[in-house]
Amino acid sequence: MKTINREKIKNKNSLKQKIITISMASLILSGSLMLIPQGNQYFYNFEGRSFANQSQVLDYAQTKGIKTLENDTHYYYKYKGKIYSLEEKNQVLQDMIRDAKISKEFTYRNVGNYVISNSGELSASVKQTPNDKLVDVHKGKNGNSYIDLDEAIESYFDYDEVLLTENLNQESGVPIEFYNESELIQYLENNKKASLEQGEESDCYLVSGICQDEGTVKKWLKSTSTYKYRYKDYEWSNFAPAEIDKIELLEQDKVYQENIFPHSGNLNAHWLTIDNDGKGAFSGSQFIETKLESQAVNEKIQHGWTTKQSDTINIFLSPFVGFGTLVSMQNKVNDGKKPKEGEWTFLDNMFNGNDEEMRNFFEMVRDTAWIELDESKSEELYYKNIEDDLTKVGPNMDSQTKTLVFFRRLANASLLRNNSDNEAGMLKFENECKKTIRKIVDNGSENMKEIYDELFKENNPSISIDDVINMFLNPSAFQYKDDAAQAGFYNLMVKINKTIDSIMEPMESLNKMVEDHYDEKGKRKQGDLSQKERMELIDANTKMIEATYSKDQKIIADDGKSYTRDELIKINKSDVGNVDISADRKINVYGGMPSPIKSITSGFNTLQVAWELGNKFSPFKMKTMSLDFGAGQELLYTYMGFSLPLLGEVNKVNPGGYVGSIPLYKGIGNPDKPGYRVKGSYFSEKEDAEYYMKSLMIRNPEEYSEISKFNISIMDKNEEMVIEDNGYDTTEEQLDIFIDKIFQKYYANSKQRYFTDGFGNKFDNQIDALASMRERISKKQFIRKYQWKDKHGIKRNYDTFEEMKKIQDIYIENTYIDKKRVLASDLFSQIDYDRLEGQAGSQNEFYSLMDGTKKRYFRTYDDACAFVINKNQFELQIEEITNIYIKYDDQTFDSEQSFLVWVKANTTVTNKKGEVLDYAI
């Protein structure tokens, strides 16, 4: 390191100042001498003194003046050669942003899918091409997209030409059909001919003047039958054009409540950390999604708590808060991984090192929700980036919670993909996610089995993947569900209450102990607990341990060691000398060596507080404070409050001192655009969500209609039979029953016996019948039908191609055709229906600016501004300046130059006589 000689620098500066002074004096003097005539004797007068020349005046003035040096630090900003003061910081920022000409633009695309950097910059693909528009495309059977509905229908169109003849087996009601002429001819020549030659007559049922066997009649009846569905007053068939606007779908309808759900915009996520000293209990939401940035969240934590009225903590909320508390307690003592520095990975923390399971999961997500976790182009959803984000949170969040945060992020992203017409895929996605989450959270505890069976039930629209995640991350959200939505959770509530009641039952026996040792103000009376009372506390704790943990389960205690349930009970009994009870009926362990099960006991105390929330008959007056982030996201702090007359509550606390926040991820959608979730699809407008739901009702009527039935018009009458969903009889089997009833009612009693030619013609003798058969074979006058199969596998025959195509086209449109809205420009590069990005129909904003000759795009206005500021290297400039001041008598000059100018101005030139000469000095 180079040593600096400060004295040398000081001498140099001093010399520099002298040189400047001498130069200035010389300049002033030389100027004066040039103006005064030479050869005469003159005097220079300054402050009553005479000097022979100007140099002497300057030397005198400088000797008398006192020079001081002051160092000054100048702070300023510089932009485009212009200097801005420290106070003009906002102005320079405004000038930068104004010159960047940031523009707001709009796109139908989901902006979050085009983020290419952590700075919020977007790829140019986010921009729509000029005059781009939304178009509806239809999915063809080949997977391609068709703008023309008729072309999509044509891709599904399929039929066979079949040739009918009578069934010679009189006991059979099955029609005989052939798909080529040679087989039919062979059948007639080998079987029908022999039957006629032997003089056998055929059963004949006359339908429209044609003699038909039972199988042919039933085939005709089956082909003319339809399925009919009813929802309220509207009835429709998938064999006729549907009038979707006639379906009345209201918010109070069961179909609406089970399938259309409000969905907030994709918001910023934060995790609330809690460092409690044990005076109260926290419950509710630690995972928060909000528009607020980190600073605003921290401000709210400190100053946003309000007292919650006891009647607003309803009986519906209590079991969910209790469940979250119980799971949290079990997770803390059972989380054996204890990842180093909070490290989280898919392989280790979700799949226990099983690479094949992880790859299968990634493949499932790609095939069902169209999200490629293992592709780096997915950016924020690339699994490596997710691992980095969750690892950065550190050990303040346990592994299980990090996994649930990932699933929340995944669920949000799947909706923003707008998976309309991918209901089957999204249903599988939800079911598989439920399975995976259960594997992670279910630690095998016997008393949780019933709860988990109900919570993770597959194909259950009442409890979505969002609800499952809220059970663990945000249980307080359930208090805001309306009555109809709450009804869907009734079975789950019953099972949770049953479990928590069984755990907490021993605590009720301790009420008298609290009354004996505390007054109504919560103040301790004289006297410690007796040995008998301490044993009662130990017994209560033992019973709760037995009710919470399985006999063979390994539980990790506070010392990091694993214990069986029986071993925990032994440790609990050894604490008999160190237990006490508080005024709010909490069991505390104090003194001596720290108990390895202290956290378990503390967990029961927290669970008890949650249990008391819904207990209207509780003898304890619990106070609850709320930190409400909206949308059901509420962190509750519950403690036992004590009040005195005039003074009010005497033990108020500020819960904000125990709470911190960690930012998890930024929202990737538009937070100002809440919308609706329908079967894994997101819609920004309520009308679009309802219309889509109605289209699903038309396309999958068996799932949503109030009544499903077979229908047939015969002899100017309508005949119907309800289709039962009994799990045993297929639709075709039930249709056969219905057709047989119709046959028995209208045709069975009209049976006659005739000689027939196999083509529906009847004769009195076999000779004429045989001759007719041979003539029709030679002229190829076959009974030809056009046949297709519906989705239940039922074959339907029609007399003409035109009739068959008309009916099949309507059926295809109502039953098979998927439709979604896409950008017309996307069709130039992609026609695969599943790979095309569906659009919700709303315009999303983004921002652009020119960077030299390149146009850049950004997700938010703030992101664009940040880019501009960084590009211009905006930073505070700091400059050290040395200022020279001259004090002369009572005057101070801010520089040597101004001092010398003053000396010159106050110097006069006189001759020997003392006359002042009028010469410029």
Q: What is the pLDDT of residues 385-404, one digit of tens each?
A: 888 888 887 777 778 888 88
Give the separation between CA 32 and CA 920, rounded to whole angstroms: 7
Q: Do residues 597 and 538 touch, judged by C-beta distance below 8 A? A: no
For residue 238, what pLDDT band results from cuts at 50, 70 and 90? confident
pLDDT of residue 13: 41
Instruction: Tell which residue, 800, 795, 799, 804, has the closest CA to residue 174.
Output: 795
> pLDDT at residue 101 above 50?
yes
Rounded mean pLDDT of 899-918?
A: 83
The DSSP code sequence of 64-123 is HSEEEEEEEEEEEEEETTEEEEGGGHHHHHHHHHHHHT-EEEEESS-GGGGB-STT-EE-
Contact assessment for residue 285 and residue 635, using Cβ atoms and an 8 Å cutoff: yes
Local confidence band at 776 (pLDDT 50, 70, 90 cut-offs): very high
pLDDT at position 796? 92
> Taking all residues of the chain, what is their mean pLDDT, rounded to a whole number?
79
pLDDT(798) > 80: yes
Report, as an integer, the average pLDDT of 203-209: 83
Residue 353's pLDDT band, with cuts at 50, 70 and 90, is confident
Each residue's pLDDT tens digit, 355-366: 999 999 999 998
Residue 675: pLDDT band by 50, 70, 90 thresholds?
A: confident
CA–CA distances in Å: residue 375 to residues 126, 131, 371, 708? 19, 32, 9, 45
420 pLDDT band, cuts 50/70/90, is: low
CB 601 within 8 A of CB 589: yes
- 808, pLDDT greater than 90: yes
pLDDT mean over 697-711: 86
pLDDT: which is higher, 275 or 688: 688
Q: What is the pLDDT of residue 779?
A: 92
Does residue 666 carry a pLDDT above 60? Answer: yes
What's the whole-number mean pLDDT along residues 103-117? 79
- Residue 729, CB-side half-sphere exposure with 13 Å CA sphere: 13
% of residues, the chain, pLDDT over 70: 80
pLDDT for the residue numbered 617: 37
Between 117 and 454, residue with greater pLDDT = 454
The region of weakest confidence among 309-318, 474-483, 602-611 is 309-318
DSSP 26: H
What local confidence, expressed as pLDDT, does residue 330 receive? 63
- Residue in the structure block whose two tokens are 């009372």: 533
Does 481 score more than 60 pLDDT? no
- The pLDDT value recorded for residue 25 is 42
pLDDT at 160: 94
Which residues neighbour 696 within 8 Å (Cβ) at sequence distance 6 or greater?
A: 259, 423, 678, 679, 703, 704
Contact 540, 507 (CB under 8 A): yes
Q: Which residue has the higher pLDDT, 197 or 876?
A: 197
Choose between 844 and 197: higher pLDDT.
Answer: 197
Whether the per-residue pLDDT at 22 is higher than 50: the answer is no
390-393-399-401 Cα dihedral, nearest 10 degrees: -90
The pLDDT of residue 167 is 87
Q: How far is residue 137's CA from residue 795's CA, in Å, rounded to a whole number?
A: 29
Residue type, 369: A
Please, which pLDDT band fits residue 295 given cuts at 50, 70 and 90? low
Number of helical H runs and strand E runs in the chain: 30, 42
- Of the candidate ranges 181-185, 589-593, 738-742, the one whose mean pLDDT is the lowest: 589-593
Q: How confident is the model at residue 376 (pLDDT cuts 50, 70, 90)?
A: low
Angle at 753 between CA 750 and CA 757, to 5 degrees: 115
Residue 308 predicted with pLDDT over 90 = no
* Angle (deg, nearest 10), helices 801-815 and 149-156: 110
Q: In 3D, which of 472, 379, 299, 866 has the Cα closest to residue 665?
A: 379
Predicted confidence at residue 28, as pLDDT, reads: 41
**Burial of 915 per CB tally in 10 Å (0-12, 13-18, 19+):** exposed
The reported pLDDT for the residue numbered 311 is: 41
Contacts of 629 (CB under 8 A, 6+ apart): 285, 288, 290, 292, 300, 635
Q: In the prediction, which pLDDT does 377 show?
A: 65
- In the prediction, which pLDDT does 10 show? 39
Least confident of 285-289, 394-398, 675-679: 394-398
pLDDT value at position 140? 92
User: Which residues in 397-511 belong to E strands, given as ranges?
Assistant: none
Beta bridge partners of 592: none
What percent of the chain is helix, strand and coil (3-state, nearest 5)?
Answer: 45, 20, 30
Among 518-522, 623-627, 676-680, name the one with the lowest average pLDDT: 518-522
pLDDT band at 741 (very low <50, low <70, confident <90, very high): very high
Greater confidence (299 vs 253) lies with: 253
**Tens digits of residue pLDDT in 841-874:** 677 788 999 888 889 998 778 778 888 887 887 7
pLDDT of residue 356: 92
Q: Write down the pLDDT at residue 919.
A: 56
The answer, yes or no, to whether residue 884 has pLDDT greater than 50, is yes
Residue 620: its pLDDT value, please?
42
Confidence (pTM): 0.51
**Residue among 121, 53, 23, 91 at smallest CA distance from 848:** 121
* pLDDT tier, 4 (very low <50, low <70, confident <90, very high otherwise): very low
Cα separation, 791 vs 529, in Å, equals 75
Q: Which residues contact 905 (CB under 8 A, 6 or more apart)?
A: none
pLDDT of residue 532: 86
pLDDT band for position 157 (cuts 50, 70, 90): very high
Contact between residue 777 and residue 188 where contact means Cβ atoms under 8 Å apart: yes
Q: Per mean pLDDT, which of 63-77, 154-168, 393-407, 705-719 is the most reliable? A: 154-168
The number of CA neighbours under 13 Å toward the Cβ of 390 is 28
Q: What is the mean pLDDT of residues 773-791?
A: 92
- Note the pLDDT of residue 788: 93
Is 60 exceeded by the pLDDT of residue 253?
yes
For residue 12, the model assigns a pLDDT of 39
